[in-house]
Amino acid sequence: MTHAMLKGSNVPLDAMAVRAVLRWSPGTGVPVVDASALLLGHDGRVRSDEDFVFYNQPRHPSGLVRRLPKKQVGDELTDAVEANLAALDPSVDQVVLAASSDGASFHHVTDLRILLYDAAAADGEPLAVFEIRPETGEETAIICGELYRRGGGWKFRAVGQGYPTGLDGLATAFGILVDETEEAAADAAPGASEEATVAVAPDRPLPPPPALPPTQPVAQPAYGYPQPPLPSAQPPYGYPQPVSSPRPAYGYPQPAAAAAPAPDPNFRLPPMGPQFIRP
């Protein structure tokens, strides 16, 4: 008997190995749909990143949960996850069954549904069917249903909870660490990556720096005394200097260039100090 599930309803399972099949109609503008599963512990989170079964990790290390290849059934496509519930480790409390879309939101997938089969019955009728309707139309990942332990057995619940953040947002919500650095490295241009690698390669010696032309030392004049002229010396402070002969340094009386005439014997110095004229 097939149970037609409503959102939030649940049904007990007699089968201990089940196959959850997503089914939808492809077409123009319809994104690719991928099935995935998360194995959760008693705290509602994955025990490690290995508990995430999806297209890049299609098989759990235990081999008890795995993705199956996509198939075309008539005019529809299917993607499926199979789980051996009876053999799962007791630390696994739930198996979340999810769908993600690539290229557009689930608003463009008009007939998505999940069908739950007994994995031991190859051609049997589905145990349960749940028609999935996006709530906002912006969802790019949806929890379709969950398998969970109850009273020593297992049950299936129809969920239909969506995420607008895609598979990354779904995985993060259950404790998966999404490595953004790998995604950034994959998006980088190959040419830029090669160039960066060459630039920091330790086994490639750097070219020697270009040789500089030799420079001549420039002597600085000593303070307070005349200096002999140098080809690149700067003139002393405060006055332009002739090229042929250096000027004396600033601050001291210098001998005259030629002999001065004899002093006038009648020359007298004027009185010193301030002078006042009486009225």
CB 40, CB 50: distance < 8 Å: no
pLDDT confidence tier of residue 194, bands split at 50, 70 and 90: very low
pLDDT at 152 over 80: yes
What local confidence, expressed as pLDDT, does residue 257 receive?
53
Q: Which two tokens stand for residue 16?
A: 């201990």
Contact 136, 164 (CB under 8 A): yes
Please give the pLDDT value at position 123: 77
Q: Where are the beta strands (DSSP E) in the chain?
A: 3-5, 10-13, 17-24, 32-40, 52-53, 65-73, 76-84, 94-102, 113-118, 128-131, 141-150, 153-163
Please report the pLDDT score of residue 237 as a whole number.
52
Share of the chain above pLDDT 70, in %: 65
Residue 113: pLDDT band (50, 70, 90) is very high
pLDDT for residue 47 is more than 60? yes
With pLDDT > 90 as the criterion, what percentage of the chain qualifies? 57
What integer best gives the mean pLDDT of the chain? Answer: 78
Task: Name the pTM for this structure.
Answer: 0.65
On the question of pLDDT at 51 being above 90, the answer is: yes
- pLDDT > 70? residue 271: no
**Mean pLDDT to the nearest integer, 108-118:** 95
Q: Is the pLDDT of residue 228 over 60?
A: no
**R_g over Cα of the chain:** 46
